[in-house]
Amino acid sequence: MSKFYIADPNIITAALNDKEFRVYQYCCSNYNVTKRSAYIRIVDIAGLFQLTKTEVEEILIKLTTVKVNDLPLISMKQDKWISFDMPSHKHFLESIGFKKFSNIGFKTLGKHFQEVHSKELKTDYLYPTLDQHELYDQLEDLPTVELKKIKKSQLMYPWKLDEVIKNRA
């Protein structure tokens, strides 16, 4: 999957034709989730879907009239230039837990990483100085009764215990 984005499943119930749906999905895919801002360039949409600038403008105007969850799909505001917003998409993202500049999840994740990396694993192995070949020889020399008392978790190379038991059978 080369591009992943989150979209409201309620959009399916909206009265959109194919072109309007594709344009809206493109806008959702370009929505910046961390900054919670829409990135919509009419020229980009026109080039991608091989539409004229006028057709894209008409589609965007139509999307301002369509409402999902009592919010318009797209809102437009004109100052020096036209700025777009996606109120319905914002509401959907808030409903599933995305919040603007929220780093609570990052703090929690950072604590988790800190715990994982700070824990010291101390395991007392039998024969800790032996490499796997020397361990095999050591286990091979043990009587069967003592060999059965050894657990895999006690060895640094647990597969060697399996090999010795297999070769004895």
Reported as a single tens digit per residue, the pLDDT across 61-110 is 888 888 888 888 888 888 887 778 888 878 887 777 766 555 554 555 56
pTM comes to: 0.54
Computed over every residue of the chain, the mean pLDDT equals 80
Q: How many CA atoms lie within 13 A of 76 on its CB side?
A: 16
Residue whose structure tokens are 């008409």: 58
Residue 164 pLDDT class (50, 70, 90 cuts): very high
- Mean pLDDT computed over 56-60: 88
Secondary structure of residue 79 in the 3-state scheme: coil
Residue 79 identity (one-letter amino acid): D
- State yes or no: pLDDT of 142 exceeds 80: yes
- State yes or no: pLDDT of 15 exceeds 60: yes
Alpha-carbon distance of 141 to 56, in angstroms, equals 81
Output the pLDDT for position 1. 39
Residue 29 pLDDT class (50, 70, 90 cuts): confident
Percentage of residues in the chain with pLDDT exceeding 90? 15
The contacts of residue 50 (CB under 8 Å, 6+ apart) are: none
Output the pLDDT for position 137. 92
